[in-house]
Amino acid sequence: MRKILTIVLAISIGLNAGLLVRALRTPSGPSEDGPRQQEQLDEILTRHFERMTADLDLSAAQQAEIRKAHDASLPSIRKAQARLESARSAVRNSILTAVDAPDEFRGNVLELQQSRARLDSLLTEMFIVEMTALDPVQRERYVEVSPWNRPFVRSPPQDDGNERTRSGSKGNEDR
């Protein structure tokens, strides 16, 4: 159980770090991404379920138990995701507009942290249900095939048509 909690904590820390980076990199302005983000959430959950089914050779009873948990949790997760996106938008906007209002910024960041914590809590509960549906051999296999069991490798920069690289140079010709 301690190993599972350590994994969940590691995921939470990584997600929070990514959250701040995403908040800073995403353009500000009104978001019309709500339905698209909900679709992405549904797609992620579907892929997760399909991968669990294939990688862990879930029985029909296990699939039904996990699917039932997902279906019961999804409305709350969607609501938490929408709240999180709203909080991200508020942080982005306060970075751009609340330069002289640090308390407003702190409040927005606190709301963002609380929103992330709520979503993490809901996902943790769903994770626990998934783990209880698995037998010990499947839980061990789950850890083996999980992303957090692989070393972190940074993806190479994407070619966006801009001549400059992430470091700001034009490439090897400056060397």
Q: 122-130: which pairs have CB atoms within 8 A and are 24 or more residues apart?
A: 122/73, 122/76, 122/77, 122/80, 123/77, 124/8, 125/73, 126/69, 126/70, 126/73, 126/77, 127/4, 127/8, 128/4, 129/65, 129/66, 129/69, 129/73, 130/52, 130/66, 130/69
Question: For residue 33, what pLDDT band results from cuts at 50, 70 and 90?
Answer: low
- Residue 81, in any domain of the structure: yes
CATH number for the domain including 20?
1.20.120
Tell whether the model's pLDDT for residue 70 goes beyond 80.
yes
- Residue 88, in any domain of the structure: yes
Please write the tens of the pLDDT for every residue from 113-144.
Answer: 999 999 999 999 988 989 999 999 999 998 88
The more confidently predicted of residues 47 and 17 is 47
Tell whether the model's pLDDT for residue 76 goes beyond 80.
yes
Question: For residue 170, what pLDDT band results from cuts at 50, 70 and 90?
Answer: very low
When divided into structural domains, the chain yields a total of 1
Q: Considering only CA atoms, which of 84, 107, 73 is closest in space to residue 34?
A: 84
Average pLDDT, the chain: 78
- Residue 30, in any domain of the structure: no
Which residues constitute the domain of residue 108? 1-25+60-149
- Residue 102, in any domain of the structure: yes
Residue 23 to residue 56: CA distance in whole angstroms: 35
**Of 43-57, 77-91, 149-163, which gets the smallest average pLDDT?**
149-163
Res 18: pLDDT: 59
- Residue 104, in any domain of the structure: yes
What is the share, in percent, of the chain residues with pLDDT greater than 70? 66
- Residue 93, in any domain of the structure: yes
Q: State the distance between the two ends of the chain, measured CA to CA, in whole angstroms.
A: 51
Res 45: pLDDT: 85
Spell out the SS3 assignment of 108-133.
HHHHHHHHHHHHHHHHHHHHHHHHHH
pTM of the model: 0.62
Residue 87 to residue 46: CA distance in whole angstroms: 26
- Residue 137, in any domain of the structure: yes
- Residue 70, in any domain of the structure: yes
